[in-house]
């Protein structure tokens, strides 16, 4: 088994970035989901309610990033180390965490309503509620630092879709950080509660990832449909969720940081 793809999403919900290598920090890939657009109540905006986020392209640079979107001039932003402190929530029902306001005018024009772009200045501020140790932390990702998907499992999903007379879907519908190839379909089910040695790093496999309507959104156009959720409901309903991919946590006991590269080997360990 080896790494086939590496991805980050600098602003939560934005178009993906593809990488040949990725630095891993205790709270996730470096630069992954450290920025988020929030509404006037300080709650994160995601593709679940705003598919237009697929049209937000982001390029990191030292100390900041560049935003691009249709019909808007590019915007260069620095990390707002001295920006206004605000209390925000990744989801409405989650605890408040601190953030710093980076910008509001450009992102409000992009989404057509009053919003703010915030930066997670302190990545140690957000804990993981389940399947974690008290020291584990996470960025603005939904819940866990790293999402791993398996190419053979996607092939199985696409076989089901073709059998149902539907079009296959690409891997980026599932917005993983790390994609592996060379494992059988659904091998990841057997990794739950265990560890994976990936390159020179070790990760704990925390749980399945329950999928939402984001998987039905074309990540290039923003158009929505019903698949692959409908077929996952037929074949991958586990513990009340429609499961595809698994959530990983960097193993702090083994250091919790390192570099992953395309082609690195992936090995389950006890």
Structure confidence at residue 108 as a pLDDT band (50, 70, 90) = very high
Identify whether residues 114 and 157 lie together within a single domain.
no
Identify whether residues 255 and 139 lie together within a single domain.
yes
- Are 214 and 224 spatial neighbours (Cβ–Cβ below 8 Å)? no
Identify whether residues 77 and 175 lie together within a single domain.
no
For the stretch 20-44, pLDDT in tens is 999 999 999 999 999 999 999 999 9
Domain that holds residue 93: 30-119
Identify whether residues 138 and 101 lie together within a single domain.
no
Which residue, 9, 25, 23, is CA-closest to 58?
9
- Residue 68 and residue 95: Cα distance in Å, rounded? 31
**Last residue in a domain, options 119, 142, 166:** 119
**Last residue in a domain, options 119, 145, 175:** 119
Task: Provide the CATH number for the domain around residue 138.
Answer: 2.40.33.20
**Last residue in a domain, options 119, 136, 153:** 119
- Residue 32 and residue 214: Cα distance in Å, rounded? 18
For the stretch 181-240, pLDDT in tens is 999 999 999 999 999 999 999 999 999 999 999 999 999 999 999 999 999 999 999 999
């Amino acid at each position: 088994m080896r790494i086939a793809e590496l991805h980050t999403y600098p602003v939560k919900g934005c178009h993906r970035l593809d990488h040949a290598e990725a630095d891993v920090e205790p709270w996730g890939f470096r630069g992954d989901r450290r920025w988020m657009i929030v509404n006037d109540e300080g709650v994160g905006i995601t593709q679940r309610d705003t598919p237009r986020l697929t049209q937000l392209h982001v390029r990191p640079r030292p100390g900041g990033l560049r935003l691009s979107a249709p019909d808007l001039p590019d915007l260069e932003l620095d990390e707002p180390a001295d920006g206004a402190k605000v209390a925000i929530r990744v989801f409405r029902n989650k605890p408040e965490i601190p953030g710093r306001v980076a910008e509001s005018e450009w992102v409000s024009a992009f989404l057509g309503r009053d919003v703010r772009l915030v930066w997670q200045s302190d990545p140690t501020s957000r804990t993981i509620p389940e399947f974690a140790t008290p020291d584990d932390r996470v960025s603005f990702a939904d819940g866990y630092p790293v999402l791993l998907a398996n190419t053979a499992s996607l092939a199985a999903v696409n076989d089901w879709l073709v059998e149902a007379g539907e079009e296959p879907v690409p891997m980026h519908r599932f917005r993983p950080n790390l994609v592996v190839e060379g494992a059988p379909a659904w091998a990841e089910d057997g990794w739950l509660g265990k560890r994976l040695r990936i390159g020179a790093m070790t990760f704990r496999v925390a749980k399945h990832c329950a999928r939402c309507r984001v998987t039905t959104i074309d990540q290039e156009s923003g158009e929505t449909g019903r698949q692959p959720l409908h077929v996952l409901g037929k074949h991958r309903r586990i513990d009340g969720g429609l499961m595809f991919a698994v959530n990983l946590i960097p193993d702090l006991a083994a250091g919790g940081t390192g570099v992953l590269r395309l082609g690195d080997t992936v090995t389950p360990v006890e």
